[in-house]
Amino acid sequence: MDHLGLWLAGLLTLGIYSFLYRDNPWYKVSEAIFVGVSAGYWVVYEYWQNFVGKFWDQKGDQPWLWIGAALGLMMLMRLIPKIGWISRWPLSFIIGATSGLWLMLYLTTNCIAQVEATIFPLFGADFDASAIAIFSNFVLVAGTICGVVYFFFSKAHTGAFGATARVGIWTIMITFGAMFALTIMNRMSLLIGRTSFIFGEWLGLLR
Amino acid sequence: MRREIPLGITIFVGFLAIVSFFSPPLEALGEDFTLFFDIIAVFAFFLGGGNLVRIHANKLIKKKPDWIYSIVALLGFFVMLAAGLFKIGNPGDISTSVTAPGSLFAMLYYNLNLPLGSTMYALLAFYVASASYRAFRAKNREATVLLLAAFVILLGSTPFGTVLTSWIPDSFDFLEIPNLAVWIMSSPNLAGQRAILIGIGLGVVSMSLRLILGIERTYLGEDRG
Element (H, E) at B225: none
Q: Residue B224: its pLDDT value, please?
A: 56
Q: Nearest CA to A45 among B46, B206, B175?
A: B46
Contact A40, B81 (CB under 8 A): yes
Q: What is the pLDDT of residue B225?
A: 47
**Per-position b or e across B137-155, b if 16+ CB within 10 A of its CB:** eeeeeebbbbbbbbbbbbb
The tens digit of pLDDT for each residue in A96-120 reads 999 999 999 999 999 999 999 999 9
Inter-chain residue contact A13 with B115, CB threshold 8 Å: yes
pTM here is 0.84
DSSP per residue over A58-90, as a string?
TTTT-TTHHHHHHHHHHHGGGGSGGGGGGGHHH
- Chain B hits for A24, Cβ within 8 Å: none
Residues 172-201 of B with CB under 8 A from A: 174, 183-201
d(CA A58, CA B202): 37
Residues of A in contact with B43 (CB under 8 A): 72-73, 75-76
d(CA A139, CA B183): 11
| Nearest-angstrom CA–CA distance, A171 and B55 | 46
Q: Write the residue in A41, A72, A106 that is nearest to B205 by C-beta.
A: A106
ipTM of the complex: 0.85
Average pLDDT over residues B58-87: 94
pLDDT at residue B89, as a whole number: 79
**Tens digit of pLDDT for each residue in B155-165?**
999 899 889 98
Cα B118 to Cα B113: distance, rounded to the nearest angstrom: 9
Q: Do B192 and A175 touch (CB under 8 A)?
A: yes
- Mean pLDDT value across chain B: 89
Cβ pair A143, A118 in contact under 8 A: no
Residue A1 has a pLDDT of 55
Q: Is A82 exposed, middle or buried (0-12, 13-18, 19+ CB in 10 A)?
A: exposed
CA-angle at B131, arms to B125 and B134, nearest 5°? 155
Mark which residues 48-87 of B lie under 8 Å from A by CB: 48-50, 52, 66, 69-70, 72-81, 83-85
Q: Which residue of B has its CA nearest to A134?
A: B187
Contact A78 B47 (CB under 8 A): yes
Of all helices (H) and strands (E), which one includes residue B23?
none
Summarised one tens digit per residue, pLDDT across range B37-55 is 999 999 999 999 999 999 9
